[in-house]
């Protein structure tokens, strides 16, 4: 039998493969079944989509129509329409048939399969996408009126609608009247943009949505998960497990990534040790270096300086010594920190600031940076 690596890290996990998160899943499901819309905030690659898929599966078993709309990088109203239409296209069974019947009676260029609204736009680029969006957003109310079906609708990476003029207002204008028809989950990875959507009095998306933050994975459950999967394939993470957990700091995707490389370097019927761990970490650093370089290039100059200070220096961030070492004015540190927090590149760990991605922190400290040709700008 082929020996397959059990640690997947290239995308959302199947709900049954999720590490722990039982309290979070139960909490969100209880909110959904009770008709309480909520907003879930967590950094990218933190397992939000995996968690919501588990909640959606559970809600579907309770008889709700469940929809997951991926809004990442949307650029226009027409694209928002296409993303929502595709989300409904994933429905199965009687609910799908009811949605298909409704779209046929509307006759506005929407359909499940067969090209859908994309094909409509190709035939008629001047179609009124805003009117179609407003009509499409009414589907949950139509389902409720038709046969009493309630819906759970997840808008994933909802903050990205901010780049589409008027999109958040149009969404709000319809869904704010759906208290009985649908529960909405608003999922985001950028705290600053989420505050614009939910706390700015000029554009509150749905101010009664219950706020929830996604915390790092608990260490004990992560260790048990990794040990169990190693054991199933005749391996033992051994003394490599503790440094892996310490390095990953509960980051879901990075925990799986590092476990993947550790498993890869541990032969069947063998026990990993610290040398195995260092080999796995070197490989992970090398493979992720292009992404780390891209993250680095996307930061402003002062953001880079703050990140370097946190990764490399042991001096207080706002001190004159730190400012001199990384070449930043002390008066500029606070603004850079707030910008990084708003994008979740930094998070608060108790009283201190912490770089969200442990692989990026490791890259900043030196490992793998030479692989990308990035100049060494670390403070001496």
Secondary structure (H, E, C), the chain: CCCCCCCCCCCCCCHHHCCCCHHHHHHHHHHHHCCCCEEEECCCCCCHHHHHHHHHHHHHHCCCEEEEEECCCCCCHHHHHHHHHHHHHCCCHHHHHHHHHHHHHHCCCCCCCCCHHHHHHHHCCCCCHHHHHHHHCCHHHHHHHHHCCCEEEEEECHHHHHHCCCHHHHHHHHHCCCCCCEEEEEEECCHHHHHHHHHCCCCCCCCCCEEEECCCCCHHHHHHHHHHHHHHCCCECHHHHHHHHHHHCCCHHHHHHHHHHHHHCCCCCCECCHHHHHHHHHHHHHHHHHHHHHHHHHCCHHHHHHHHHHHHCCCCCCCHHHHHHHCCCHHHHHHHHHHHHHCCCEEEECCEEEECCHHHHHHHCCCCHHHHCCCCCCCC
User: Tokens standing for 283?
Assistant: 């490989």
- pLDDT above 90 (res 369): no
The per-residue pLDDT for 110 is 93
pLDDT at 372: 43
The CA-based dihedral angle spanning residues 162, 164, 166, 168, taken in that order and rounded to the nearest 10 degrees: -40
pTM: 0.86
Q: Which of 70-79, 158-167, 190-199, 246-255 has the lowest mean pLDDT?
A: 190-199
User: CA Rg, the chain, in Å?
Assistant: 23
pLDDT of res. 3: 85
What is the per-residue pLDDT across 324-334, written as a single tens digit (0 to 9) for each?
Answer: 999 999 999 99
Q: Which tokens go with 326?
A: 């990384």
- The whole-number average pLDDT for the span 273-300 is 95
Average pLDDT over residues 215-235: 94
What confidence category does residue 73 fall into, taking pLDDT thresholds of 50, 70 and 90? very high
Token pair, residue 178, equals 């759906």
Parts of the chain belonging to CATH 3.40.50.300: 21-213
Statement: residue 184 has pLDDT above 90: yes
pLDDT of the residue at 279 = 97
pLDDT digits (tens, 9 = 90+) for 189-211: 999 988 888 877 777 766 678 99
pLDDT band for position 377 (cuts 50, 70, 90):
low
Distance CA 334, CA 317 (A): 10
Give CA–CA dist 306/67, Å, rounded: 40
* CB neighbour list of residue 64: distance below 8 Å, 6 or more residues apart: 32, 33, 149, 150, 151, 152, 183
Percent of the chain with pLDDT over 70: 94
Query: pLDDT digits over 258-269, tens only?
Result: 999 999 999 999
Supply the mean pLDDT for the chain.
90
Domain 293-380 has CATH 1.10.10: yes
Would you place residue 45 in the very low, low, confident or very high pLDDT band (cuts 50, 70, 90)? confident
Position 2 scores a pLDDT of 76
Provide CATH 1.10.10 ranges for the chain: 293-380
Amino acid 371: pLDDT? 45
Q: Per-residue confidence at 53, pLDDT binned at 50, 70, 90?
A: very high
Can you give the pLDDT at residue 379? 46
pLDDT at 370 over 90: no
**Residue 154, beta-bridge partner list:** 68, 185
Quick one: average pLDDT of 282-290?
94
pLDDT of residue 19 exceeding 90, the answer is: no
Q: In the prediction, which pLDDT does 378 show?
A: 46
Q: Which residue has the higher pLDDT, 285 or 207?
A: 285
pLDDT of residue 206: 67
* Closest residue by Cα to residue 65 from 168, 211, 188, 184: 184
| Residue 314: pLDDT band with limits 50, 70, 90 | confident
The architecture of the domain spanning 21-213 is 3-Layer(aba) Sandwich (3.40)
Would you state the pLDDT for residue 12?
73
How far is 141 from 182, CA to CA, in rounded Å? 8
C-alpha to C-alpha distance for 112 and 117, rounded to whole angstroms: 9
């Amino acid at each position: 039998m082929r020996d397959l690596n059990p640690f997947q890290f290239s995308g959302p996990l199947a709900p049954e493969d999720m590490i722990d998160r039982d309290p979070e899943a139960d909490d969100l499901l209880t909110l959904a079944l009770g008709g309480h819309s909520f907003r879930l905030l967590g950094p990218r690659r933190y397992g939000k989509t995996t968690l919501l898929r588990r909640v959606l599966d559970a809600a579907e078993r309770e008889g709700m129509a469940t929809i997951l709309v991926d809004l990442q990088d949307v650029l226009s109203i027409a694209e928002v329409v296409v993303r929502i239409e595709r989300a409904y296209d994933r429905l199965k069974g009687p609910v799908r048939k009811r949605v298909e019947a409704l779209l046929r009676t509307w006759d506005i260029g929407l359909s499940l399969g067969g090209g859908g609204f994309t094909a409509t736009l190709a035939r008629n680029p001047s179609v009124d996408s805003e009117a179609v969006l407003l009509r499409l957003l009414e589907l949950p109310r139509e389902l409720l009126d038709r046969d009493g079906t309630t819906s759970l609708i997840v808008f994933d990476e909802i903050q990205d609608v901010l780049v589409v003029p008027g999109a958040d207002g149009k969404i709000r204008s319809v869904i704010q009247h759906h208290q009985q028809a649908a529960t909405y989950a608003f999922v985001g990875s950028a705290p600053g943009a989420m505050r614009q959507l939910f706390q700015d009095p000029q554009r509150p998306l749905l101010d009664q949505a219950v706020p929830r933050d996604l915390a790092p994975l608990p260490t004990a459950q992560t260790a048990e998960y990794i040990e169990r999967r190693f054991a199933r394939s005749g391996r033992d993470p051994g003394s490599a497990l503790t440094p892996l957990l310490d390095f990953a700091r509960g980051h879901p995707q990075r925990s799986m990534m590092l476990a993947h490389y550790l498993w890869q370097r541990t032969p069947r019927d063998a026990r990993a040790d610290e040398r195995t761990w260092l080999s796995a970490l070197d490989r992970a650093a090398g493979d992720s270096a292009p992404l780390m370089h891209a993250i680095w290039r996307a930061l402003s100059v002062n953001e880079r300086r703050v990140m370097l200070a946190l990764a490399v220096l042991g001096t207080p961030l706002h001190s004159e010594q730190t400012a001199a070492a990384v070449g930043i004015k002390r008066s500029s540190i606070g603004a850079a920190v707030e910008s990084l927090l708003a994008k979740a590149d930094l998070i608060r760990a108790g009283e201190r600031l912490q770089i969200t991605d442990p692989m990026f922190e490791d890259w900043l400290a030196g490992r793998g940076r030479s692989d990308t040709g990035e100049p060494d700008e670390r403070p001496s």
